Amino acid sequence: MRLAASGAALWLTGVALTGCGAVPGLSGDNEVTLRVVAADYGDNPQNSSAGYWKNLATAFEKDNPGVKVEVSVYSWSEVDAKVAAMVKAGKAPDIAQIGAYADYAEAGKLYTADELLSVKTEADFLAPLADAGKVRRVQYGMPFVASTRLLFYNTKLLGDAGIIPKDGSTPWQPKSWADVEAAAKKLKAANVPTPFALPLGREEAQAETMMWMLSGGGGYTDNEEAYAIDSAENVKTFEFLRDRMVGQGLTGPVEPGKLDRQAAFDAFTRGEVGMLNGHPTLLKQATGKGVKFGMVAMPTADGTDHSAMGVADWVMAFKNGHKKEAGKFLDQLYSAKNVTAFTNQYDLLPVTTSGYRAMEAANGGSSTQLRTFLTALPNSRLYPVGKKSWAGVSEDIKQNIGKAVQPGAQPAKVLEQIADSARKADGEK
């Protein structure tokens, strides 16, 4: 849950980090260098993930003489492609923290989790997330952080538009898409620049797409886990978005296919967006800018309950001959101290049982708001990350799903093209 989990620092091209390391000229011939590639969850230079990884590398090197750790941190818009290019060039990193793992597992390039982790670490993963990290019942992908999604709304804008009381005494409680459409129309009439932000740009279109598909009773796969991207339910979902949201001018001045998630978040924190789907990172960003907001479960097509979307980002270790060293580093990465430090910094959800219990028990601050997200995590639906084709399918969605909501578009045709490519890539008939 990127969070395919999470923030994206578009300002960051790439930051290479090392811990303390050995003194030049004094290193022994047996020194091992672990190369780690990670995604950035910050939204500006001050809260970049680079600092977290630097501290982690420094502490690990101190406890493990003879092992050097080099970490490269990239924005979410490029980290998956960076790792793919490294692998293609025969220079795979030892450890990668990215959005998908199954294609590398299918190619036989990854160590299994039980080859790497201590029994204590492996057993601490939340069961649904550990299961999502498996290919043919063997775990290769280790969840890093998770998130679920809720619909955020600006309480001042909704109050000024007459959707809720101006004093905020009654929260907004939409149940169906009709409720969302009606509210968006009132926001438009009140001159809100973007009544409903619909980010279907390259950054995280696959997440926005899945949220709408699930709320429409569909999803990326059917009950047999075969691709069902072009299902009747999904087609109806995108016809609604094309006709009722985009077609009525309710999604703002930027074409959805060109609107990235972080740009939508930034606009929300500037008070320019009435509603948008968001993950826990938006809590801190909006609070930091003084925006008053509410959160509700994503309304559905007909007002009945459907599964919410969960997202996990993944850690994997490539077979570079450094299994022992990589395993020790991962055990440290998943220690309760380090898991809590990262999830607290970015208001994300823990992937371990110990972290889950700690967040449930926490009082005050963002922990109270995060519990709303946490409650949805155990029963949420994740991307089909166990499919070797998912990385390519996700990229196809990023490039093309925005076309489905353009005026005059044919959603059925766009979804069929994506689905046909997905089935072919996955070896489905």
Lowest mean pLDDT among 33-47, 131-145, 358-372: 358-372
The answer to whether 38 touches 52, Cβ cutoff 8 Å, is: no
Instruction: Summarize the confidence of residues 335-355 as an average pLDDT.
Output: 88
Question: Residue 19: pLDDT band by 50, 70, 90 thresholds?
Answer: low
DSSP tag of 422? H
The mean pLDDT of the chain is: 90
Look at residue 27 in the predicted model and tell me its pLDDT: 42
In terms of pLDDT, which residue wins out, 358 or 406? Answer: 406
Q: What is the mean pLDDT of residues 305-309?
A: 87
Specify the pLDDT at position 12: 38
Q: Output the DSSP codes for 320-338.
A: SS-HHHHHHHHHHHTSHHH
Percent of the chain with pLDDT over 90: 69
Residues whose CB falls within 8 Å of the CB of residue 423, separated by 6 or more in sequence, listed in order: 226, 227, 429
Coil/strand/helix, residue 246: helix
Q: Which domains does the chain have, with CATH numbers?
A: 15-146+311-376 (3.40.190.10), 150-307 (3.40.190.10)
User: Measured between alpha carbons, how far is 387 from 384 in angstroms, rounded to an integer?
Assistant: 6
| Contact (CB, 8 A) for 4 and 280 | no
Q: Which residue has the tokens 């004094």?
A: 26
Mean pLDDT in residue range 372-382 = 80
Task: Provide the pLDDT confidence category of residue 348 given band limits of 50, 70 and 90.
Answer: confident
Alpha carbon distance 308, 364 (integer Å)? 25
- The pLDDT of residue 25 is 36
pLDDT value, residue 365: 52
Tens digit of pLDDT for each residue in 134-154?
998 999 999 999 988 999 999
CA–CA distance, 374 with 355 (Å, rounded to integer): 11
> pLDDT, tens digit, for every residue of 405-422?
999 999 999 999 999 999
